[in-house]
A and B are shown apart, each in its own frame.
Chain A
Amino acid sequence: MAVHKISVKQLISRVRQVFPDAPDTYILNLINDALVEIGMHSTKPVSSRISLVENQMWYDIGDGANDSSGKALEANKVYRVDILDNEGDYIQIPRLVDKNILLMDVFQETGEVLSFTPNTSTAITTLGETGGVPNSATGAWTANQTHADVAPHNVGIGGSGADTLRVTITTNSSGHPKLTAITTASLGYKVGDYVTFVSPGNSEKATWTVNEIRYTHESAVERSD
């Protein structure tokens, strides 16, 4: 025998017994308000895996964070953390309670660029802009091309990126460029930097915005003086 649950449709029908004219959309909004309220009271225990990154001290658990499989974390309150040991077992690690006396060297500004906007599945379709305008190109690139190891032409506002960055850019039949992969990463970028690449085919320019970076220099928690 199945467990009795109330579907959204059944819930609306119960409400309609008293409020026959209440619109579906409004009731759905109220249900979502209720779910947010209920979510604040420790009602949905979840376990997720995150990959450890060398020299990375901070791991995002905000509303937009994903686990290692790309699924949204949607974490409210973390109550336990386990870590893999040398035998491949997850072992619970203690929470550091007295963290306020510690100094942390973690607020670095630049790091290794991980992704751009538009993302690797989206081409830039805004053409005819002057060079350096984010998420746009000066004109159509040579159509149906794959350009490997393209170096940045320049880094835009506030940028100080080292030029080891190399990317792969493909173009479709309309000459819209799409940055499909970062083949060589580079330090020195920060979120929001504009990075311009020049078409090896016809010298038109296209500009992407740095979306995500990884802070790679050493972070440490220090003894207080």
Chain B
Amino acid sequence: MAIFTSNIKYPEDSVNWFIRGDRLCIISNVDGDGNKNTSARKRFKAIQESVTDGLLIHYYGEPNSVSAVTDSLDIDNTMHLAIVDYVKKCLYMDKAGVSVDGNISAMAAQMSKMHEKNFNDAIIRYGMKKRDKTGGSRVLKSISLM
């Protein structure tokens, strides 16, 4: 038994959520005693009781920023090399932009493209596969006897 409880017996049937902008909306059709709290006009109302730690939300968060060379990266280690690619991509782009030698500039632009592709592949294309902790076979396929 947890320390905190609400009066809602079947939240999956009586409480809904949605998001508008930067705000999470929690609506319910029961009152603070768990009884129906709707009218012909009003289908949902705000929660009718205060509950400490009453909501548990699961979300994808933003990694913490770094501010010193002694900091650690706040993402899975499978993504660390992608950050090296991102930084090099930007630095090569800078170099391509300021170099007076056309050959160096062209080579730097090409290197920038290569690191950009590495970053995009690591994060956008294969990011979920890299981070996913689920193991084992993804599909069980029986042999066709036909």
Count B interface residues, CB 8 Å.
Answer: 81
Residue of B nearest to A42 (CB): B60
Residue of A nearest to B53 (CB): A49
Alpha-carbon distance A36/B57, docked complex (angstroms):
21
- The answer to whether B59 and A78 have CB atoms under 8 Å apart is yes
Interface centre among B3, B10, B24, B84 (most CB of A within 10 A): B24
Alpha-carbon distance A57/B29, docked complex (angstroms):
12
Q: Would you call A62 an interface residue if the criterion is a C-beta within 8 Å of the partner chain's C-beta atoms?
A: yes
CB distance from A107 to the nearest CB of B (A): 11
Q: A45-B58, A80-B57 are in contact. Are A18 and B88 (CB under 8 A)?
A: yes
Alpha-carbon distance A4/B77, docked complex (angstroms):
7
- The answer to whether A11 and B87 have CB atoms under 8 Å apart is yes
- The answer to whether B27 and A221 have CB atoms under 8 Å apart is yes
- The answer to whether A58 and B25 have CB atoms under 8 Å apart is yes
CB distance from B1 to the nearest CB of A (A): 5
Mark contacts of A8-51 with chain B using CB atoms, 8 A cut-off: 1 yes-contact digit, 0 otherwise: 11011011001100101001101111111111011111111111
Chain A-chain B contacts (Cβ-Cβ < 8 Å), number: 313
> Could you say which residues of chain A place their CB within 8 Å of the CB of B64?
35, 74
> Could you say which residues of chain B place their CB within 8 Å of the CB of A35?
62-66, 73-75, 83
Binding site for B on A (CB under 8 A): 3-9, 11-12, 14-15, 18-19, 22, 24, 27-28, 30-39, 41-63, 65, 68, 73-97, 99, 102, 218-223
A-B contact pairs, 30 of them (CB 8 A): A8-B70, A11-B87, A27-B87, A28-B66, A33-B86, A33-B90, A34-B83, A34-B87, A37-B123, A43-B60, A45-B61, A46-B58, A48-B59, A49-B55, A53-B47, A54-B49, A57-B45, A58-B24, A60-B22, A61-B19, A62-B22, A86-B6, A87-B5, A88-B4, A89-B2, A91-B11, A95-B17, A95-B18, A221-B43, A223-B43
